[in-house]
Amino acid sequence: MKRFTIILAMFVMLLFAFSLTLAQDSVDDEGNLNNPRTNPRANACYDGAELGGKCDTSDLDEDGTVEAWEKDLMWDCGWHYIRWQYGLVSREDFAPQCVWLLPPPPVEIPAPTQTPTQAPILD
């Protein structure tokens, strides 16, 4: 059991280090770290961030043309989204025009209630 715990702890540490590396690889268009804690221009639309490559190409209304308002909305929402990803904004305080970007909230599954069961009748 101890060996399993040690291997699990090492795996979690590697996963955490890998995620930090990914987050630090993203920079804004000025070469600054794309971290909203230190960069007021941080945006999920920059390359390497979650929306990288999508903000200037998303045809939100599916009319066959990527219009300026769609790019503006994506970059606006990218700015809010990266702050939500870093935990700086809650789901409740998230920009209402961008809520569609958020994943569905976690669903609480009620604990199963134990009902008394009747012992099987054996012949």
> Which residues here bind Ca ion, judged by CB under 5 A?
59, 61, 63, 65, 67
Minimum gap (Å) between residue 67 Cβ and Ca ion: 5
Question: Could you tell me the smallest distance in angstroms from the CB atom of residue 116 to Ca ion?
Answer: 59
Closest CB to Ca ion among residues 65, 117: 65
CA distance 22 to 4: 27
CB nearer Ca ion, residue 61 or residue 72: 61
CB of 98 to Ca ion, least distance (A): 17
Handedness of CA 94, 96, 101, 106 (dihedral sign): positive
What sign for the dihedral angle of Cα 112, 118, 119, 122?
A: negative
Give min distance, CB of 70 to Ca ion, in A.
5
Residue with smaller CB distance to Ca ion, 67 or 72: 67
For 31-94, give the secondary structure using H, E and C: CCECCCCCCCCCCCCCCCCCCCCCCCCCCCCCCCCCCHHHHHHHHHHHHHHHHHHCCCCCCCCC
State which residue, 42 or 55, has the beta carbon closest to Ca ion: 55
For 117, list phi and psi in degrees, rounded to 5. -110, 150
